[in-house]
Structure 1
Amino acid sequence: MDGQRKFYVVAITLVATLGGLLFGYDTAVISGAEKSIQAFLIDSQGLSTWIHGVTTSSALIGCIIGGAISGILASSMGRKKSLQLAAVLFFISALGSGYPEFLFFPEGEATISLLLMFNFYRVIGGIGVGLASAISPMYIGEIAPANIRGQLVSLNQFAIIFGMLVVYFVNYGIANGQTIEWINTIGWRRMFLSETVPAGLFGILLFFVPETPRYLALNHQDDKAFSVLTKISGHDRAKQVLAEIKATVEHHSGKLLSFGKTVIIIGILLSVFQQFVGINVALYYAPRIFESMGAAKDASMMQTVIMGLVNVVFTVVAIYTVDKWGRKPLLIVGSAGMAIGMFAISGLAYFEIIGISTLVFIIVYTASFMMSWGPITWVLIAEIFPNKIRGKAVAIAVAAQWTSNYLISSTYPAMMEFSGAVTYGFYGFMSVLSLIFVWRFVPETKGRTLEDMEALWEKKK
């Protein structure tokens, strides 16, 4: 691929990865605000720990909805317009979460109705996250040439982690040097409102990218598909790729089980294991975890920033190795590292050992996830499904992922009340199961075109 074409593909990819950045930003912004939300909307009304867990995780309800409808929207509206809808939802959620009293409630007066309205805006943002989480990697996967597809789809995970890192800095900057009272009344609002900036930028830039050639070909817009493919791959290669796409479109009905149950089950289990290893507990509750280990408020926020930096570094490791080493080796190594980290944290919790060792093993765990299950799951979900069923199958896999995320995140506070050692031990056990699953059932997709996946699953039917 010459320099001009590569620049074109990378530029398009970077715009699409803003959906990933907003995914990360929206899901992690709660980490800095959740204690203030607890003080303002939960404790002030004498509500339970369970309500706190549900409120902290409420965006995940929207994520499940967004993931579930992503296939319908991606197939009917197209990949590009679906991402534009996600950008609008992100923007509305940022405004509403920061000022849930808008129009209907007096400012600063906590009521059950205001709590419901706050959760409503978080659900709206969650729908945007669900759409972006499914469609951003799908868009990149359908644009990218096979030889660099793993790297480009992994950039979406880098954007997710970078979005989390950015919001950690934003939250730290807003809270630094301020009193608890100020953070609990004003600071948390600014944390949510800050998301309007990347959401607006994403919405604007999407006007300047094309629809994917595979979606265009599926909808009989061959001339437009060929034009985009030519800009990506050159005239001769574009003709070959378009012919392969058309062949996969014509030979199958597009029914979900056209290629058997195995590919759907593998897609679902990839999503479930990505969440059952407990990563979003570390991301959503990071400051609280560090505070529970004895860190002061400012120190806990800074340790969260350090963890975010580690996450970025190890996601870069995945980007540079996914198309060299393959998907399976990275997943297997990552599962082993996560198991070591979580079992160690479980042991430290059991013996009530608090200190730098806990931070070290949290970093071992998150680094292992970020160089494996974080990006590689999205790469596989974007590429293992054949063209004709990709929209539906990705929607099912992503909905399963967000359902699992919600179950893990919303039950964490109650599980920790029961036993920290058991909680972290459970995540370690899930890491071991994820290793066995990948080793036995997940196919290697390195270097295969999206059209090659049809032949692979035909053999396995």
Structure 2
Amino acid sequence: MAKLQGTRKGAFRAYFFGFFVCLAGFLFGYDTGIVGGVLTMESYKRDFGYTDNTTVSAVMVSLQNVGAFLSALAVFPVSERYGRKKTIQVAMTVFCTGVILQVIPSHSLVCFYIGRFVSGLGLGSATAVVPAYNAEQAPKEIRGMLGSGMQWLFALGVMISYWVDYGTVQGIGGSHSAEWQIPVGLQMVPAALLGFGLIFQKESIRWLAKKNRNEEAWEALKWMRADDGPEVKAEFNEIKAGIAEEVRASEGFKKRELLEPANRYRLGLAFGIFLGQQCTGMTALAYFGPQFFKLLVGSGTKNLLITGLFGAEKFITVGIYILFFSEMWNRKPTLWISAILMSICFIIVTVVNKTTPAPVDNQTTSAGIATVAMIFITNSIYQFSWGPLPWPYAAEIFPNRIREVGTSVGVSTQWLFNFLFSLTTPYMIKDMSTYVFLFYAALDIVMAIMVWFFVKETKGRTLEEMEQIFNSRAAFDNEAARNKALEIESSGSEDRFSDVHVIGKHADIDGK
């Protein structure tokens, strides 16, 4: 685990805040996980009276993803104007409204679909804002760990949803509507916790500084770090220097800033890394776990049990990565090596499945067990790489002025391809059988190649240093800014809020 400088209280606050806001990831995971199980429940089929399982599966998942895509893409002006806290709180209110529309006993698929779309609007907004909010508050030493918390909490949500599905099927059975209403309705619990809990948290330090609310920004930073010593003052001056240089370098620009080569490159990376996350096939497995495992071991309630174990493994492995390896391994090699390993695993699954006898009378075969084990290994590889890494990476590579836009592009990409894969996966399972794994194996190879050529390493660098990594017009000498701030502190100056001027590679604070 990375060593964090500063006070113990500051470390506690950083960890607590980072993982708390990642409740948005838990909500995403829980919602993802309940779908496959609910669609297998007899009570759900009876209450809504449908016969086309494939179409209902595709529409039920994809409608929420459409809402999430639209809101994730459109939320950045709201977040920019009103701040991160308020935006997330409103998003959770919208989400709960959608859940209520889903659980009321309307017996109407249209009403349920509307609820899915509305809850998607809230979920997409939250997942787009939280990575930026988290990155802007986190110390650089643990920014990757805290940002990866989105995937850890996502995995926890998926795991709990699987076991809730399994528990209601075993405990209630298909005789009562509560069998599906309980799993769906429980989504409101983490949403309410996140919405109300943010009342007690500080607004984004960098957002406040960008709005020239320097006193509030300083108080927020001082509270988050539980310290007001020289290092914290130096960090604050580096933040101000970075924002000042962004303003200077982009003066006269607005939306045209996005056309700067460095920013176009970063937008492409945010798009590509979240596209790659969906191309692994693991999100499709999270949505439709029981349906995938049916291909390997046959029908029966054992598929819900296997899916529950799959979710538990997901949570445990991503937790191990975040706690022990997230700040040890570099981002780039982790991504391309893992993509190759996942491709190999999927190829093995396909070959074994196609060269061994299929289950007879739904009796699990040794080959079926072997392919399930290989899927579990693939899942572990994903949780050590493509699952957690896109969240902090897409948030940390952008400058303050366009971080809302950048993270919105990245997360909306995630929702867009989440929608496309969730819409097509039921049909792919139906028409391609286990060849669907070969399809994802090919995509993994493409991803490895793209990472090798285009992804830049960012581990251990401050957000302000990203300007140098991507050769931006707003690049400046970060160390000079920090050292100058420390010199001012050692000389006894108390003027924390004086203007910061950074020209080219030289930092000039207080005009000195």
Q: Above 0.5 in TM-score?
A: yes
Q: Is the 8 A contact 1:214 1:225 kept in 2?
A: yes
2:131 matches 1:127: no
Cα deviation 1:224-277 (Å, max 9, x = unaligned): 111121233432233322322223323333532343421111110101111022
Cα deviation, residue 136, structure 1: 1.7
Q: Is the 8 A contact 1:26 1:125 kept in 2?
A: no
2:361 matches 1:357: no
Match of 1:182 among 169, 175, 184: 175
2:331 matches 1:301: no
- Counterparts in 2 of 1:435 and 1:172: CA distance versus 1, 3 Å: same
In structure 1, what is the equivalent of residue 326 of structure 2?
322
> Aligned partners of 1:73, 1:459: CA distance in 2, in Å?
26
> Aligned partners of 1:34, 1:403: CA distance in 2, in Å?
22
2:160 matches 1:156: no
Number of residue pairs matched by the alignment: 447
Q: Is the 8 A contact 2:295 2:434 kept in 1?
A: no
Match of 1:282 among 285, 288, 292: 285
Question: Which AA in structure 2 matches 1:435?
Answer: A
Matched position secondary structure for 1:374: coil
Q: Is the 8 A contact 1:248 1:388 kept in 2?
A: no
> Aligned partners of 1:369, 1:238: CA distance in 2, in Å?
36
In structure 2, what is the equivalent of residue 66 of structure 1?
71
Cα deviation, residue 332, structure 1: 2.3
- Counterparts in 2 of 1:178 and 1:347: CA distance versus 1, 3 Å: farther
Match of 2:315 among 312, 315, 318: 312
Q: Is the 8 A contact 2:61 2:419 kept in 1?
A: no
Matched position secondary structure for 1:256: helix
Question: Which AA in structure 2 matches 1:271?
Answer: F
1:181-260 equivalences under 5 Å are: 181-182=174-175, 185-233=177-225, 234-235=227-228, 236-252=230-246, 253=250, 255-258=257-260, 259-260=262-263
Q: Is the 8 A contact 2:397 2:458 kept in 1?
A: yes
Cα deviation, residue 459, structure 1: 5.4
Question: Which AA in structure 1 matches 2:164?
Answer: V
In structure 2, what is the equivalent of residue 39 of structure 1?
45
Cα deviation 1:112-143 (Å, max 9, x = unaligned): xx222211111122122212222222211111
User: Once superposed, which parts of structure 1, at least 4 consecutive aligned residues long, lie more than 4 Å away?
Assistant: 45-48
How much identity, in percent, do the aligned residues show? 29
1:404-419 equivalences under 5 Å are: 404-419=417-432
- Rg larger in structure: 2
1:325-344 equivalences under 5 Å are: 325-344=329-348
Cα deviation, residue 377, structure 1: 0.8
Cα deviation, residue 406, structure 1: 0.9
Cα deviation 1:22-70 (Å, max 9, x = unaligned): 121122221221234873477x445473353122332111110121123
Question: Which AA in structure 1 matches 2:79?
Answer: A
Match of 2:271 among 268, 273, 281: 268
Cα deviation 1:379-430 (Å, max 9, x = unaligned): 1011111111110111111111111111111101212222124321111111
Cα deviation, residue 97, structure 1: 1.3
Matched position secondary structure for 1:58: helix
Q: CA RMSD in A?
A: 2.2
Q: Is the 8 A contact 1:61 1:123 kept in 2?
A: yes
> Aligned partners of 2:388, 2:431: CA distance in 1, in Å?
32
Q: Is the 8 A contact 2:209 2:240 kept in 1?
A: yes
Cα deviation 1:311-352 (Å, max 9, x = unaligned): 112212321212111212221232122112222222234346
TM-score (normalizing by structure 2): 0.82
Question: Which AA in structure 1 matches 2:277?
Answer: Q
Cα deviation, residue 100, structure 1: 5.7
Match of 2:465 among 448, 452, 460: 452
Relative to structure 2, which stretch is displaced further, 435-444 or 193-202? 193-202
Larger % of helix: which?
1
> Aligned partners of 2:188, 2:266: CA distance in 1, in Å?
38
Runs of 5+ consecutive residues of structure 1 not aligned to the other structure: 102-107, 109-113
In structure 1, what is the equivalent of residue 98 of structure 2?
93
> Aligned partners of 2:55, 2:332: CA distance in 1, in Å?
38
Q: Is the 8 A contact 1:256 1:393 kept in 2?
A: no
> Aligned partners of 1:197, 1:148: CA distance in 2, in Å?
28
Matched position secondary structure for 1:314: helix
Question: Which AA in structure 1 matches 2:159?
Answer: L
> Aligned partners of 1:322, 1:152: CA distance in 2, in Å?
9
